[in-house]
Amino acid sequence: MNDRSKSSKRAALELARMGYPVLPLPGLSKSRKRIGKCICELDRKTCEHPSRLCQFFDIYRGTTNERHIEDTWRERPHARVGMELGSRSGLVAIIVDGRTGLDSLKDWEVEHSRLPKTPTICAARDRLVYLFSADAYAIPEGEKEIGEGILLRGEGDCVFAPPSICPNGEHQVEVTWDIGATIQQTPVSPIPVWLAQLCDMPKNEKPQEARPTSIEKESASVPLVVRSGFDVAAESSHIWINEPWVAARAITLMHEGSKGGGCTPFVLHLIRSVIEGTGFLTQRSAQGNVVFLTSDSSASIGKAITSLGFSHIHLNRLHIIHCQDNLDTSWPQIVEGTIERCAIEEARLVVIDRLNVFTGQGPGTDSPDFDLEHIRQPLLKMAHKGIGVFAVLDLNKDDLVPGQSPETPLDSFIDIKLHLEKTGSHPAERLLHVSSQILGTPERAILLLKPDGFEYRLDQPGLFQKSKGTAHDVPKKDKTSKISGPDDQLPLWGPEEDKPE
């Protein structure tokens, strides 16, 4: 078995361990440039382009049985790797072919929203294969054209997985995973609602279950949500909305050290960067829709949007929920409505300014009336839906100590906490304290508040000496020290299944 055959078998085993059914596909005869004949015992001389499914292999469905995969590639070392699509894998493939397909996709993204990050296969120079999960939709059969240069592959079909060789005109190319979008590192994203509608994929209606009696309720076991280790490991790679301050499935909490510290301008500049896809502080934001929960009046927010130079072309991406318009709505009901609005508008970020007003809690978190669960459960539910949450919290003056980030009961479930305060050395200068459960987030930084946004300054030794002693100096790093990353994680074993007959 040569190196290519070994790598194909390794790729098939790795996909099977991840839970994706794989199947062997016909190989190509050895040729440096030109396409060779299909390798099969039938010796089909008229088979100019090997089909994706071959009768010789006598396999029409994939498997995750590793012993079966080992035996198959031992018998057919030149077989290529195929990923099964459809209900068993929960996958559909969107194929963007050539410049025509790229132009069609660009027009769709301008009209709707950008495709989310998902595992992507580069099958040729201008041929991309996007893999999406479609568990909530009815997956159509076979292959069909959904746009000019764009194809959909679904039930009963498959795609070549790296490192397979595929025909490209009269030549052959090796398919590869797109850089930064490999299936080992990137979670498979659900197919966007607008794309599912273009593919004529209706939602699967769940059958209505009979209501259990009181005796059944007492005897029934509580259903538990159980996920595999691979699913949890896949979520460890955060999908950043703006790195390293806001991420999908994460909650960022900000509070300011004094009135006029700049939380509201910070929030508005972040929102503008997301809806316009422009830079904010250290990185460029991922463009998308934003749902903004604000306690300010419409006139106040409208004036701020105008003064901060929001692009009117992208303002349809911003959806505002005023607290004054929903005074009779409870906090859990507001969250349910916000989640529903995010699904309709495909919003990736929810900003809450201020959290105290919407939850009905006062600024003091140490009062006996403070209800942590009342705030925590809805926020976690929102983040669990894949939404990035950025909330601003008011604190009592007694809780604030210059140069320190105060501790609150909310810290127990917050992913990223930001504390913004004035330095006192310059009216536009702000000191940002950061504590995060996500690696790579700086501990603090100096920000300059400007009309067009915030300017980020690196946290260098001696930089905070100007802040009237409100912050300690940053210790110098040892130049000889080395940073060692985590060991490469081995793929987990997937479920086994019987060999298909």
Task: Give the domain CATH number at 278.
Answer: 3.40.50.300
Question: In this structure, are 276 and 168 located in the same domain?
Answer: no
Task: Assess whether pLDDT exceeds 90 at residue 93.
Answer: yes
Confidence band for 399, pLDDT divided at 50, 70 and 90: low
Determine, yes or no, domain membership for 473: no
In the chain, % of residues over pLDDT 70? 70
What's the pLDDT at 23? 84
**Mean of the pLDDT values across residues 142-163?**
89
Low-confidence winner among 117-131, 296-310, 400-414, 457-471 (lowest mean pLDDT): 457-471
Task: Give strand pairing partners of 294.
Answer: 322, 353
The torsion angles phi and psi of 156, rounded to 5 degrees, stand at 80, 5
Task: Assess whether pLDDT exceeds 90 at residue 164.
Answer: no
Question: In this structure, are 113 and 162 located in the same domain?
Answer: yes
Confidence band for 186, pLDDT divided at 50, 70 and 90: confident
Confidence band for 145, pLDDT divided at 50, 70 and 90: very high
Q: What is the domain extent for residue 434?
A: 238-466
Determine, yes or no, domain membership for 224: no
Per-range mean pLDDT, top range of 22-26, 337-341, 401-405: 337-341
Q: Which amino acid is at 213?
A: T
**Mean of the pLDDT values across residues 266-270?**
92
Confidence band for 477, pLDDT divided at 50, 70 and 90: very low
* N- to C-terminal Cα separation, the chain: 26
Determine, yes or no, domain membership for 210: no
What's the pLDDT at 464? 43
The residue among 327 and 453 whose pLDDT is bigger is 327
**Mean of the pLDDT values across residues 310-323?**
87
Question: In this structure, are 319 and 185 located in the same domain?
Answer: no
Q: Where are the beta strands (DSSP E) in 244-302?
A: 246-247, 251-256, 279-280, 283-284, 289-294
**Mean of the pLDDT values across residues 372-390?**
89
Torsion on CA atoms 222, 223, 224, 228, rounded to nearest 10: 150
The first and second tokens of residue 421, run together, are 């305060």
Dihedral-angle region of residue 353 (phi above 0 means left; psi in -120 to 50 means alpha; beta otherwise):
beta
The residue among 131 and 439 whose pLDDT is bigger is 131
Per-range mean pLDDT, top range of 265-279, 305-319, 435-449: 265-279
What's the pLDDT at 28? 63
Secondary structure percentages of the chain, helix, strand, coil, to 5: 25, 25, 50
Confidence band for 125, pLDDT divided at 50, 70 and 90: low
Task: Assess whether pLDDT exceeds 70 at residue 114.
Answer: yes
Q: Rounded distance, CA 42 to CA 188, Å?
A: 38
Question: In this structure, are 243 and 193 located in the same domain?
Answer: no
Task: Assess whether pLDDT exceeds 70 at residue 231.
Answer: no
In the chain, % of residues over pLDDT 90? 20
Q: Which amino acid is at 261?
A: G
Determine, yes or no, domain membership for 217: no
Low-confidence winner among 80-89, 177-186, 232-241, 441-450 (lowest mean pLDDT): 232-241
What's the pLDDT at 58? 45
Report in angstroms the alpha-carbon separations of 11 from 69, 82, 284, 305: 11, 10, 34, 50
What average pLDDT does the chain have? 76
Question: In this structure, are 282 and 192 located in the same domain?
Answer: no
Task: Give strand pairing partners of 253.
Answer: 391, 417
Question: In this structure, are 309 and 379 located in the same domain?
Answer: yes
The residue among 336 and 204 whose pLDDT is bigger is 336
**Please, what's the b/e burial string for 470-486 (b: 16 or more CB within 10 A of its CB; e: otherwise)?**
bbeeeeeeeeeeeeeee
Task: Assess whether pLDDT exceeds 60 at residue 169.
Answer: no
Q: Where are the beta strands (DSSP E) in 4-142?
A: 22-25, 27-28, 38-39, 80-84, 91-97, 120-124, 127-133
The torsion angles phi and psi of 394, rounded to 5 degrees, stand at -85, 140
Task: Give the helix/strand (H/E) hosting 304.
Answer: helix 298-307
**Mean of the pLDDT values across residues 173-191?**
87
Q: In what order do the strands lie in the sheet with 150-153?
A: 143-147, 150-153, 91-97, 127-133, 120-124, 176-177
Question: In this structure, are 359 and 407 located in the same domain?
Answer: yes
Radius of gyration of the chain (CA): 27
Beta carbons within 10 angstroms of residue 148's beta carbon = 13
Place of tokens 């997301």: 274
Determine, yes or no, domain membership for 157: yes
Q: Check if the beta carbon of residue 288 is closer than 8 Å to that of residue 347.
A: yes
Task: Assess whether pLDDT exceeds 80 at residue 365.
Answer: no
Q: Rounded distance, CA 143 to CA 150, Å?
A: 11
Confidence band for 77, pLDDT divided at 50, 70 and 90: confident
- Among 167, 183, 198, the domain-final residue is 198
DSSP state of 202: P
What's the pLDDT at 473? 34
Determine, yes or no, domain membership for 472: no
Place of tokens 């495909």: 346
Determine, yes or no, domain membership for 475: no
**Mean of the pLDDT values across residues 123-140?**
85
Question: In this structure, are 57 and 188 located in the same domain?
Answer: yes
Place of tokens 């016909």: 26
Task: Assess whether pLDDT exceeds 50 at residue 409.
Answer: yes
DSSP state of 141: B
Task: Assess whether pLDDT exceeds 50 at residue 478.
Answer: no
What's the pLDDT at 30? 53
Question: In this structure, are 193 and 139 located in the same domain?
Answer: yes
Q: Rounded distance, CA 489 to CA 487, Å?
A: 6
Residue whose C-alpha is closest to residue 348's, from 415, 250, 281 = 250
Determine, yes or no, domain membership for 357: yes
- Among 142, 173, 198, the domain-final residue is 198
Question: In this structure, are 248 and 185 located in the same domain?
Answer: no
Place of tokens 């105290």: 356
Question: In this structure, are 142 and 254 located in the same domain?
Answer: no
Question: In this structure, are 269 and 358 located in the same domain?
Answer: yes
Instruction: Tell me the whole-structure pTM to 2 decimals.
Output: 0.51
What is the total count of domains within the chain?
2
DSSP state of 63: B
